């Protein structure tokens, strides 16, 4: 299964940045990873990397025309991910999270 992540040091600021990361991907996650004090926070780093990967997948699919058909699904999924992140949860996106963990990025 998945290892447990610490949830005691998650601030409301962390939750807000994670929410914005999923809604305004890939811009906000890239900004989070460039800000020194933000990228060292485990919760924020986890969600920023995952939201960045989610956004990059979307950009690639969009330019392959497939994304035009899947736009509503992408929007609903992004809002769902944002709400879960704002709730302080370490979200698991099927396939994507496993890939990122396998690469040791999160």
Q: What is the pLDDT of residue 1?
A: 39
C-alpha distances in Å from residue 53, one per residue of 6, 11, 12, 49, 96: 22, 23, 23, 6, 8
pTM for the model stands at 0.85
Q: How far apart (Å, rounded) are the C-alpha atoms in residues 49 and 35?
A: 13
Q: What is the pLDDT of residue 90?
A: 92
* Per-residue pLDDT reduced to its tens digit, 57-91: 888 877 877 767 778 888 899 999 999 999 999 98
Q: What is the pLDDT of residue 25?
A: 85
| Mean pLDDT value across residues 5-33 | 88
């Amino acid at each position: 299964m998945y290892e447990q992540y610490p949830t005691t040091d998650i601030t409301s600021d962390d939750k807000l940045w994670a929410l914005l990361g999923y809604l305004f991907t890939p811009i906000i996650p890239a900004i989070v990873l460039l800000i020194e004090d933000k990228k060292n926070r485990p919760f924020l780093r986890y969600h920023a990397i995952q939201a960045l990967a989610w956004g990059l997948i979307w950009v690639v699919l969009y330019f392959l025309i497939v994304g035009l058909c899947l736009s509503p699904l992408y929007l609903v999924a992004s809002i769902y991910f944002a709400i879960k992140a704002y709730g302080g949860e370490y979200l698991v996106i099927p396939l994507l999270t496993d890939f990122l963990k396998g690469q040791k990025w999160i």
